[in-house]
Amino acid sequence: MSEKGGCLCGQFSYSFPREAVVSAHHCHCTDCQKMTGSGKATIIMVPTQTLEMAGELKTFTVTGTDGGRVTRAFCPTCGSQILSYLEGRDALKFVKAGTLEQSDWVTISSSFWATTARSWDPVKADAQAFETNPSSV
Ligand SMILES: [Zn+2]
Ligand SMILES: [Zn+2]
């Protein structure tokens, strides 16, 4: 089953097979809060080799709180946040769940950065929660 998604203006689109998905998570880190303009990012881990992309993305790279280099990619025209990835972890892309055409199938297995979750967007009660980043994802 092929899942499709893209940005708000339609310039960028992607697809991946649903069966390739590793897992899905909420990230409440303050960087994700800034970039999404919300309480958290919801990310789906997809193997890079299964991800097909069309269009153009612009990237912004920062050193995360734990020292890792995080690159976030977005549409240069409409600014939609599409995906992110970690330096040295090229095999995985973290696709933003809100950019999918259909996403009701997504199951959240855990939340990251519970320590910086906001009172108005608390961690999911019925899933595992890590205080910061899990040691292995
Ligand atoms: Zn766009
Ligand atoms: Zn985050």
Q: For the residues 68-88, what does the mean pLDDT come to?
A: 96
Where does the pLDDT of residue 46 fall: very low under 50, low under 70, confident under 90, or very high at 90 and above?
Answer: very high
Domain-located, residue 51 = yes
Domain-located, residue 130 = no
pLDDT per position as a tens digit, 117-126: 999 999 999 9
Where does the pLDDT of residue 67 fall: very low under 50, low under 70, confident under 90, or very high at 90 and above?
Answer: confident
For residue 73, what is the domain's CATH number?
2.170.150.70
Would you state the pLDDT for residue 113? 95
DSSP string, the chain: -EEEEE-SSSS-EEEEEGGG--EEEEE--HHHHHHHTSS-EEEEEEEGGG-EEES--EEEEEE-TTS-EEEEEE-TTT--EEEEEETT-TTEEEEEGGGBS--TT--EEEEE-GGG--TTSPPPTTSEE-SSS-S--
Domain ranges, residue 93: 2-116
Total tally of structural domains belonging to the chain: 1
Domain-located, residue 26 = yes
Tell me how far the alpha carbon of residue 49 lies from the centroid of ligand 2, in angstroms: 23
Would you state the pLDDT for residue 104? 97
Tell me how far the alpha carbon of residue 40 lies from the centroid of ligand 1, in angstroms: 21
Domain-located, residue 127 = no
Ligand nearest, relative to CA of residue 81: 1
Domain-located, residue 85 = yes
Domain-located, residue 137 = no
pTM attached to this predicted model? 0.94
The answer, yes or no, to whether residue 136 has pLDDT greater than 70, is no
The answer, yes or no, to whether residue 83 has pLDDT greater than 80, is yes
Ion ligand 2 neighbours (CB, 5 A) are: 27, 29, 32
Where does the pLDDT of residue 66 fall: very low under 50, low under 70, confident under 90, or very high at 90 and above?
Answer: confident
Q: For the residues 39-48, what does the mean pLDDT come to?
A: 98
| Mean pLDDT value across the chain | 95
Domain-located, residue 48 = yes
Domain-located, residue 121 = no
Tell me how far the alpha carbon of residue 76 lies from the centroid of ligand 1, in angstroms: 7
